Amino acid sequence: MVMIENVIRIFGRAPLAGLGAVFVATLIFGAGLLNAENAPNAPERIDLSNFPGEMVEKVVVPIPAEIFAVLEKLDEPDWNSGIELPEQGDPVGERAILALTFGSLVGEGFIAVQAKNADEIQTIGKRVLALSEALGLAAAVRPHSLSIIEAAGNSDWKKVRDELDATQQTVRTTMEKLRDDELSGLVSLGGWLRGTNVVTSFISNSFSEDKAELLNQPGLIEHFRGLLDSMKGPSANSPQIRSISTGLARLEAIIAPSTEISEEDINQLRDISRTMLEEYYFEKKAAETGTSIN
């Protein structure tokens, strides 16, 4: 019932019911703004072709929880079926691959928290710490890892989500301080890729245009392609990074601006993102496409 009300509120399919929800929302927001002063009216339109200011270059990549929040309003996914924690191996290898894996592991954590699966979250919390040791960042990550494990034990899901976000941010900030901006970007890419794969898997099993629209993210793909294109050093030419770069180009070709994303597109996005994850996160599955989750 809650899901249906959310759909009505957000997507406006039942105007009268929607009006009621808007009224409630207005009351809630009104209470929060009692002490606020209304801002001077914003211009209704700005001329982007002649903008007198400056474009900020930094891109903030949404965490998987943001897109999961919408999917939760549109559907009732079986989040537990989306958890797919790979077998634990020794976290060794190129730092670029470790950074991607770290991001995807945090993405896995966001799936597990949607599922409210405390056992999996605690396992992920421990693996996050092990991986951070391999990256030389254990001191910064340990407090977050412990908080994740404790919050999962207390079923404090909001706290788990906050700590997963904080973990990723701490790792990225620390990498940037060490002038490892490339690695920082790869952490974001790993998380985005894992989130994209699970979302496309769910949508593929229960397609709707509203859900497919969530994949309309050409700006983020362009950002990640730029990140890989600008990589320097031996990792830039590793087969894994080259393969992921090719995968991003394929995703970009599907998610073209002003194009509706079809069911077939979603299936392709699921399979391509899966193949990309198999470069460093999942075991490669020969002659199999996608995953079957409900």
Which chain residues interact with other proteins by CB under 8 A?
10-11, 28-29, 32-33, 36-40, 42-48, 51-56, 58-63, 65-67, 69-70, 73-74, 158, 161-163, 165-166, 168-170, 172-173, 210, 213-220
Cβ closer to other proteins: 53 or 89? 53
Cβ closer to other proteins: 64 or 82? 64
Amino acid present at 31: A
Residues 234 and 261: beta-carbon distance below 8 Å = no
Residue 139 backbone class (left: φ over 0; alpha: ψ -120 to 50; beta: rest): alpha
Neighbours of 16 (CB within 10 A): 7
Cβ closer to other proteins: 113 or 241? 113
Long-range contacts of 233-236, Cβ-Cβ distance < 8 Å, separation of 24 or more: 233/182, 234/94, 235/94, 235/95, 235/96, 235/97, 235/182
Residues 103 and 168: beta-carbon distance below 8 Å = yes
Residues 255 and 247: beta-carbon distance below 8 Å = no
Q: How far is the CB of 114 from other proteins (least distance, A)?
A: 13
Cβ closer to other proteins: 45 or 179? 45
Cβ closer to other proteins: 217 or 238? 217
Residues 6+ apart with CB under 8 A from 127: 85, 88, 105
Q: How far is the CB of 172 from other proteins (least distance, A)?
A: 8
Q: Which two tokens stand for residue 26?
A: 């207005």
Q: How far is the CB of 240 from other proteins (least distance, A)?
A: 25
Q: How far is the CB of 6 from other proteins (least distance, A)?
A: 8
Report the alpha-carbon distance of residue 124 to residue 150 in Å, rounded: 12
For residue 93, give the nearest of 291, 222, 240, 225 by alpha carbon.
Answer: 240
Q: Which two tokens stand for residue 228?
A: 């890989």
For residue 143, give the nearest of 151, 135, 154 by alpha carbon.
Answer: 151
Q: How far is the CB of 176 from other proteins (least distance, A)?
A: 10
Question: Max Cα separation, the chain?
Answer: 61
Q: How far is the CB of 38 from other proteins (least distance, A)?
A: 6
Cβ closer to other proteins: 52 or 89? 52
Q: How far is the CB of 19 from other proteins (least distance, A)?
A: 14
Cβ closer to other proteins: 3 or 88? 3
Cβ closer to other proteins: 180 or 279? 180
Q: How far is the CB of 282 from other proteins (least distance, A)?
A: 25
